[in-house]
């Protein structure tokens, strides 16, 4: 059995050094493996609730760096727009403790006129049990006036559509993130 803490086969030594506690294990679907550190936990040894959004957002940023290219935020500004966060949603399904290893797979969610969502399914690496399901929604705004929304550029829309067609979100992930009263 392979050690779950080994980096992706195509990772360089520098990648491993920089991303020691989180690294990409797959590009289809885009999957980030993360190892829980003791400092992310409360005195009882359970991950603090506030760390889960950071896990979610980190996976989304790594995904966007991959599909749009490193430095995509700077490129956005040069192209006349920015894409700050508008909303996140999460459903917690099981806890994590120090040294737990889990994988976050990223999928494309709804892409609307001015907003796009990424869906993330996190599962334990040892037994596949679901840890959380999450959604990160970004809104496209003018770089000079963040109160003015702009349409999602065609190139971004096409990139997301291509990835989404090749890597459809599991129906269980989509269902777990539906709004419920």
Is residue 10 over pLDDT 60? Answer: no
Cβ neighbours of 181 (radius 10 Å) = 2
Is residue 95 over pLDDT 90? Answer: yes
The structure tokens 């294990």 sit at: 25
Mean predicted confidence (pLDDT) in 44-72: 90
Is residue 127 over pLDDT 60? Answer: yes
Between the CA of residue 79 and those of 75, 83, 137, 152, what are the distances in Å? 6, 11, 20, 11
Mean predicted confidence (pLDDT) in 88-109: 96
Using 50, 70 and 90 to split pLDDT, how confident is the model at 144?
A: confident
pTM of structure: 0.85
Domains of the chain: 13-176 (3.10.129.10)
Q: In this structure, are residues 120 and 135 in contact, taking their beta carbons and an 8 Å threshold?
A: yes
Q: Kindly report, residue by residue over 160-181, the tens digit of the pLDDT.
A: 999 999 999 999 999 998 865 4
Environment class of residue 166 by beta-carbon count within 10 Å: exposed (0-12), middle (13-18) or buried (19+)? exposed
Instruction: State the chain's mean pLDDT as an integer.
Output: 87
Comparing CA positions, the residue from 60, 91, 100, 112 lying closest to residue 172 is: 91
Which of the 8 DSSP states describes residue 47?
B
Q: In this structure, are residues 60 and 106 in contact, taking their beta carbons and an 8 Å threshold?
A: yes
| Helix (H) or strand (E) segment spanning residue 134 | strand 130-139
Q: Distance (Å, rounded) from C-alpha 118 to C-alpha 104?
A: 12
Is residue 112 over pLDDT 80? Answer: yes
Is residue 80 over pLDDT 60? Answer: yes
């Amino acid at each position: 059995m392979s050690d779950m803490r080994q980096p992706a086969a195509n990772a360089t030594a520098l990648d491993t050094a920089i991303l020691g506690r989180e690294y990409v294990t797959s590009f289809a679907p885009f999957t980030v493996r993360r190892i829980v550190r003791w400092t992310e936990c409360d005195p009882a040894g359970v991950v603090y609730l506030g760390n889960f959004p950071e896990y979610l957002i980190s996976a989304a940023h790594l995904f966007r760096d991959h599909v749009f290219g490193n430095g995509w935020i700077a490129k956005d500004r040069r192209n006349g727009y920015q894409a700050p966060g508008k909303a996140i949603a999460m459903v917690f399904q099981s806890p994590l403790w120090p040294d737990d290893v889990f994988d976050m797979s990223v999928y494309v969610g709804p892409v609307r006129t001015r907003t796009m969502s990424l869906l993330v399914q996190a599962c334990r690496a040892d037994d596949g049990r679901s840890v959380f399901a999450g959604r990160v929604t970004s809104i496209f705004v003018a770089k000079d006036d963040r109160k003015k929304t702009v349409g999602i550029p065609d190139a971004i829309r096409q990139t997301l559509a291509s990835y989404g067609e090749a890597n459809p979100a599991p129906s269980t992930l989509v269902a777990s993130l539906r709004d419920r009263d």
